[in-house]
């Protein structure tokens, strides 16, 4: 069994209005050293297999078909044995 965390964010080439708004809010609180805020999503799941390669294959498939829309989003993930 593996524990997975997937992070999905808008592609870096796309302006993230939500991130910009959060950044402006922080600047108005004088947190001026914080920049380039991007808002994303986190997915947690488990994968029922004993093979790391199989787990990785499943995560890749889930990322491409469900967790992201590849037109606008990128993903990264961590896989940990439980």
Partner 1 sequence: MSKIKFGIVVFPGSNCDADAYNAIINDMQQEAVYLWHKETSLQNSDVIILPGGFSYGDYLRTGAIAKFSSIMNEVIRFAKSGGTVLGICNGFQILLETGLLPGAMLRNTSLQFSCKFVHLKVENTNTRFSSTCSHNEILKIPIAHGEGNYYTDTATLQELEEHQQILFRYCDSHGEVNEESNPNGSLLNIAGIINKEGNILGMMPHPERTTNEELGSTDGKKIFLSLIET
Q: Given the rule CB under 8 A, which residues bind partner 1?
A: 10, 14-15, 17-18, 21, 66-67, 69, 71-72
Nearer to partner 1, 13 or 50 (CB): 13
CB of 56 to partner 1, least distance (A): 22
CB of 15 to partner 1, least distance (A): 8
Query: What kind and span of H or E run contains 53?
Result: helix 52-62
73 exposure class (CB count in 10 Å sphere: 0-12, 13-18, 19+): middle
Q: Please state, in angstroms and rounded to a whole number, the distance separating the CA atoms of residues 7 and 14.
A: 17
CB of 27 to partner 1, least distance (A): 17
């Amino acid at each position: 069994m593996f524990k997975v965390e997937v992070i999905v964010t808008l592609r870096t080439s796309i302006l993230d209005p939500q991130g910009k708004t959060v950044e402006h809010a922080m600047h108005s609180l004088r947190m001026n050293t914080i920049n380039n805020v991007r808002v994303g999503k986190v997915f947690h799941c488990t994968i029922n297999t004993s093979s790391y390669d199989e787990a990785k294959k499943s995560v890749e498939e889930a990322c491409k078909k469900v967790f992201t829309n590849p037109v606008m989003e990128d993903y990264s993930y961590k896989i940990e044995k439980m």
